[in-house]
Structure formats: structure tokens, C-alpha cells
Amino acid sequence: MKFFAVFFCLLLAGCFLPDIRINRKVSKSEVIGTWLLDPKCSAIAETNAIDRYIPDSSKPHRIILNPDGTCSFQSVIGYDPGKYQYQILTGTWKLETSKDNPSGSYLALELGKAGMRTTHTDYDFREENGNLILWCHWGDPGSWQFLEYRLSSPPAQSP
């Protein structure tokens, strides 16, 4: 019985984690550019003993979002927990709104390459000190481990 009480408390605690997703619409002009993997993100932190990803420093880890809706992806994708692969893919991107966060935006990517089926993956946004951060959960969402990307240079502002 004690086991079930502890299990229930842990389950309940995981369901009420704060929502860190951005709570506003993100514009296309804010996201166009090159997003680089943050070397300090929790998915690659030395303290992450669960599913730590160790980037190969000889390979770029970036997502390039072009103004025409195409993109280039050179980074890691997790197909299954514990089965992460560095991929070089091309595809398309668009900003979407989810039913559970109607005031916010997320990035939807359709990625592929010859001989491979298309992969759909989503990234959320959050804001820190006025700067957007592109992120996704790494492994179990309850573990609060994230892959995070930062815009390498802010897009030019229109006059």
C-alpha cells in the first residue's frame, strides 16, 4: 500500500509541473535564422545521468530556418528513449498553435532525406531575458531535461 501511495504522489507531482512554453504568438520574423544547440542545456549537462547526449564537437548542431519555409537540420533526433542519432536533414517549417496552449506558438518541422521516411518533430519556445529559446523534451518529460537552441544572431528588424 505504501508503494502505491508513493507512486500516486510521484505521478500527481509530474502532472502539475509548471508550463514553461511561451504564452504569446511568435512571429516568423523572430525565428528566421540559425539556431545553435546551447552547450549548457540540461540534455547534455554532466549532471544528467539518465540520457545524457554528448555532442561530437566536429559536427555542427544547428537548425536553420529560411524565410521561404524551408529548413536545414544538423543535430540530434531522439527516435526512441536512449536511441538518439545525429542527422543531417532538410525539410520545411511552420509556426503552429496547439489546442492546449492557444495563446502560444510552437515550431513544426517536417524533415527527411533520400531513402528515409519523413520525420515530423515539434519544438516549443520559451523566452528568457527577451530572447527566444527553441526547446524540446529530452527523454521523459517529467525529468525536466531539455535540448535547447538559441538564435545565433537575432534576425534583422524591419524599419
Residue 76 pLDDT: 86
Query: What average pLDDT does the chain have?
Result: 80
Question: Which of the four pLDDT bands, split at 50, 70 and 90, describes residue 159?
Answer: very low
Asked whether the predicted pLDDT for residue 2 surpasses 80, the reply is: no
Q: Classify 49 in phi/psi space as left (phi over 0), alpha (psi -120 to 50) or beta.
A: alpha
DSSP secondary structure code for residue 27 in this structure: P
Question: Which of the four pLDDT bands, split at 50, 70 and 90, describes residue 116?
Answer: confident
Chain segment 126-148, per-residue pLDDT in tens: 999 999 999 987 766 777 778 89
CA distance 19 to 80: 24
Residue type, 22: I
CA distance 78 to 135: 13
Residue type, 138: W
CA dihedral 155, 156, 158, 159 (to 10 degrees): 150
